[in-house]
Amino acid sequence: MQMRKIGPQGFNVSCLALGAMGYGELKDRDGLIAVLRAAVDRGVTLIDTAEVYGPWVNETLVGEALAPLRGRVRIATKFGWDIDQTTGEFRGALNSRPAQIRSAVEGSLRRLRVDRIDLIYQHRVDPDVPIEDVAGTVRDLIDQGKVAHFGLSEAGAATIARAHAVQPVTALQSEYSLWTREPDAEILPLLQRLGIGLISYSPLGKGFLTGKIDPAQAFEARDIRSRTPRFSPEARLANQALIDGLARIGARLGATPAQLALAWLLAKAPFIVPLFGTRSLTRLEENLGTARLTLSPADFADIDALSAAFPVQGARYPDDFLAYSGR
């Protein structure tokens, strides 16, 4: 597995990271633990979770799965939602007040079974709390040895710059893929200038860029794709042309659409680390096979041009979803 150094302090991680969120309920606990441990055995050194996944169910599972592998893997988690720190009740709003951050970090440390969180993100920008207060609170936690690195998620350029002036930001986690390229305009140039890494979530377009989702597929009600405009049957039918184009390039290179989508991100910039999710050992092997795929400049240009010119149909989130992008 190739390694990448991101952030001003040189956070060293594998070029591909695994997200433990998944879709729907955690129905197969043992299976997910097996996938997490297999990823580490195959060289993945960054596993991503969040206190809101459950809440707390996912962090607890990640802590259990990775306890025997401590020292071989780094864990990223997130704060920023209004979660009762005694009961775990999710109250459906943002909360990045300093007291909430400190309490959330203490809970994450216990659930993850670690003495220090390797990378902590503000999950979404809270418009009611100045980002300087958030960054200052994380800086204090770093000084106390409870956190190693600070990250932001779905933050805009101005917010990133303001936070970075208080506490250096190691990584931004935002959606970036062949069908979600909004960060190209402002975010990528800023990250490059400040030396901040991009952990690109949904690099496979919530599964669509694998080429394994067709217009007739149904999603469970709990699955956000069931109400995401980009995953309506009509949008999937229109967006299939992007998959067809990837398949043609992949046939020439002996690679799957998923591998091309990940390889494009790796070739795009040396500070990008794609963060994919899977419950399947087969899909894990397929995705990690990307690390052995090197795109020529011409192949990269073909994929990049296909993506840049493609008119993606449908918004990436439902209107009522709390994305808080671009703040």
Map 40-96 to HEC letters: HHCCCCEEECCCCCCCCHHHHHHHHHHHHHCCCCEEEEEECEEECCCCCCEEEEECC
Alpha carbon distances (Å) from 278 to 22, 64, 173, 323: 7, 18, 18, 22
Question: Quick check: 320 pLDDT over 80?
Answer: no
Report the alpha-carbon distance of residue 119 to residue 148 in Å, rounded.
Answer: 6
Question: Are 37 and 69 within 8 A, CB to CB?
Answer: yes
Question: Are 53 and 59 within 8 A, CB to CB?
Answer: yes
Report the alpha-carbon distance of residue 254 to residue 246 in Å, rounded.
Answer: 11
Where in the chain are the domains?
Answer: 3-208+257-295
Report the alpha-carbon distance of residue 120 to residue 173 in Å, rounded.
Answer: 11
Question: Are 73 and 17 within 8 A, CB to CB?
Answer: no
23 included as an active-site residue: no
Question: Are 64 and 92 within 8 A, CB to CB?
Answer: no
Question: Quick check: 23 pLDDT over 70?
Answer: no
Q: Is 261 helix (H, G, I), strand (E, B) or coil?
A: helix
**pTM higher than 0.85, yes or no?**
yes
Residues with Cβ within 8 Å of 183's Cβ and at least 6 positions away in sequence, in order, are: 174, 176, 198
Mean pLDDT, residues 104-133: 98
Residues with Cβ within 8 Å of 246's Cβ and at least 6 positions away in sequence, in order, are: 178, 209, 211, 257, 260, 261, 303, 306
Rg from Cα positions in the chain = 19
233-253 and 257-268 helices, crossing angle to 10°: 80
Instruction: State which fold the 3-208+257-295 domain adopts.
Output: TIM Barrel (3.20.20)
Across the chain, mean pLDDT equals 94
Q: Is 185 exposed, middle or buried (0-12, 13-18, 19+ CB in 10 A)?
A: exposed
Alpha carbon distances (Å) from 91 to 26, 95, 111, 227: 21, 10, 20, 21
Report the alpha-carbon distance of residue 50 to residue 76 in Å, rounded.
Answer: 8
CA 144 to chain centre: 26
Identify any residues that bridge with 173 across adjacent strands, giving them in sequence order: 153, 199
Alpha carbon distances (Å) from 208 to 217, 223, 258, 307, 320: 11, 14, 9, 14, 22
The pLDDT tens digits of the residues spanning 135-191 come to 999 999 999 999 999 999 999 999 999 999 999 999 999 999 999 999 999 999 999
Name the catalytic one among 23, 53, 176, 201. Answer: 53
Amino acid identity, position 85 = Q
Task: State what percent of residues in the chain have pLDDT above 70.
Answer: 97
Question: Are 178 and 303 within 8 A, CB to CB?
Answer: yes
The pLDDT tens digits of the residues spanning 188-236 come to 999 999 999 999 999 999 999 999 998 889 998 888 899 999 999 999 9
Report the alpha-carbon distance of residue 163 to residue 165 in Å, rounded.
Answer: 5
Structure tokens at 61: 């599972």
Residue with tokens 């989702």: 213
The pLDDT tens digits of the residues spanning 57-75 come to 999 999 999 999 999 999 9
Amino acid identity, position 104 = A
Question: Are 49 and 120 within 8 A, CB to CB?
Answer: no
pLDDT at 253: 97
Question: Are 298 and 42 within 8 A, CB to CB?
Answer: no
